[in-house]
Amino acid sequence: MTQTRTRPLPDRHGYFGDFGGRYVPETLMAALDEFEASYKNLKKDRSFRAELDEILTEYVGRPTPLTEAKRFAEMCGGFRLFLKREDLNHTGAHKINNAIGQALIAKRMGKERIIAETGAGQHGVATATACALLGLKCVVYMGEVDMARQELNVFRMRLLGAEVVQVSSGSRTLKDAINEAIRDWVTNVRTTHYILGSVLGPHPYPMVVRDFQSVIGREALGQLRKKVNMLPNVAVACVGGGSNAIGLFYEMLKHASIRLVGVEAGGRGPKLGDHAARFSGGALGVLHGTRSMILQDEFGQIAETHSISAGLDYPSIGPEHAYLQQIGRIEYHDCSDDLALEAFHKLSECEGIIPALESAHALGWLLRNGNAIARDSVVVVNLSGRGDKDVPQIAAMGA
Ligand SMILES: *Cc1c(COP(=O)(O)O)cnc(C)c1O
């Protein structure tokens, strides 16, 4: 197989080419160094890996199945389609893979208090779950608007013993919740670890989160080898911050024959404010500690974003994605709200699987563009989460 990558990234300073790095207040530098050093040691530590593996197997439910979706595939173009079932993880999405990993690191570092941000509430629930399991105190920052939209997840986090702090500044959504979490961390850095939920933020987060999520693609390649004895021709995943996508793609990057497709939220249309498609509408900038592609206005103010799915509704994208887009290894497209909704219904009706609205973006792209994929291809889609959380929203829309 052709290798497209010769040296591992990020570099020592946390850069993926022009993207990444560590743009944080001085007070956090030592904490990030400590986190990075602990991670590097624990990665090689047998007892740490055994503990993580045990939890992933016996608690999270890994390995997740790889399900062939024959009826849905017929509607897309007739190739063989496999769904990587991250929706079957405990708590219903891929986020738990990272939350458990980071909570275990925090515990080994002797930090007793965990903070996290959450948008839709999925990362908050995953973090609250990991903290309940490991006996850590948990505080989750969440925008006021999101708390109203995702009431059930707020209740869930509280049931799990977490404190949910309402953020009423700015647009009162995810980006403001991250600002508050960073502020808390600056104040309480000695006792507290910040569990970031995607491949975003200052180094080493994009690397650590990627590594914990890369189990998705490692399993998928092994499962495909058993089922069809080949590499996939195409792999598709939705991209919010980018953790489920890089999780699926990471082990595939070195196989140049695999076409990798990331799908962003096309929202209502291409006007700034109506979508969260960072590659078609964004520009280089720094947000929340990392340098990447960001949706911003002509004065560099962070733009409002829109998506039918809260998990894709973020103005920036992980720096490794920005790099992989720039070198042309991954192609990025977007899928509109309407198309995602269509795929949401089609998968539910044809396969008996209600996907998360986020994952429905990957399926929607395939529904629209699958005809251009050869019929003898093998395609794998990351079903990043289950749609139960979205049912009240769908019901309210009458859609
Ligand atoms: C949070 C979330 C996403 C988006 O986040 P990534 O970091 O891009 O994976 C996608 N799907 C589901 C189900 C989510 O909960």
Q: Is residue 374 part of a domain?
A: yes
Residue 384 Cβ inside 6 Å of ligand 1? The answer reads yes
Residues 242 and 312 in one domain: yes
The tally of CA atoms less than 13 A away on the side-chain side of residue 364 is 26
Residues 81 and 130 in one domain: no
Residues 312 and 356 in one domain: yes
SS (H, E, C) 97-163: HHHHHHHHHHHHCCCCEEEEEECCCHHHHHHHHHHHHHCCEEEEEEEHHHHHHCHHHHHHHHHCCCE
Last residue of one domain, picked from the residues 209, 241, 269: 209
Mean pLDDT, each 10-residue run in order, the chain (399 residues):
65 98 96 98 98 98 98 97 98 98 98 96 97 98 92 96 97 93 96 98 98 98 98 98 98 98 98 96 96 96 93 95 98 98 98 98 98 98 96 88
Q: Is residue 278 part of a domain?
A: yes
Q: Is residue 6 part of a domain?
A: no
Q: Write the CATH number for 192.
A: 3.40.50.1100
Residue 46 Cα, ligand 1 centroid: separation in angstroms?
29
Q: Is 271 helix (H, G, I), strand (E, B) or coil?
A: coil
| pLDDT for the residue 317 | 98
Residues 150 and 267 in one domain: no
Residues 129 and 251 in one domain: no
Q: Is residue 343 part of a domain?
A: yes
| pLDDT for the residue 8 | 87
Q: Is residue 256 part of a domain?
A: yes
Residues 121 and 262 in one domain: no
Residue 99 Cβ inside 6 Å of ligand 1? The answer reads no
Last residue of one domain, picked from the residues 209, 238, 253: 209
Last residue of one domain, picked from the residues 176, 209, 242: 209
- Provide the sign of the torsion angle of the four alpha carbons 327, 329, 335, 341, taken in this order: negative
Distance CA 249, CA 244 (A): 9
Residues 342 and 361 in one domain: yes
Q: Is residue 282 part of a domain?
A: yes
Closest to 233 in 3D by CA, of 27, 69, 372: 372
Residues 248 and 354 in one domain: yes
Residue 311 Cβ inside 6 Å of ligand 1? The answer reads yes
Residues 352 and 321 in one domain: yes
**Total residue count of the chain as it appears in this document:** 399
Residue bearing the CA closest to ligand 1, atom 7: 243
Residues 135 and 236 in one domain: no
Residue 218 Cα, ligand 1 centroid: separation in angstroms?
18
If one residue of 384, 389, 390, 391 were mutated to test the ligand 1 pocket, choosing by the most ligand atoms within 8 A of its CB, it would be: 384
Q: Which domain holds residue 350?
A: 62-92+214-397
Q: Is residue 231 part of a domain?
A: yes
Residue 186 Cα, ligand 1 centroid: separation in angstroms?
26
Phi, psi (degrees; rounded to nearest 5) at 263: -120, 120
Residues 326 and 357 in one domain: yes
Q: Is residue 196 part of a domain?
A: yes
Residues 36 and 115 in one domain: yes
The domain tally of the chain equals: 2
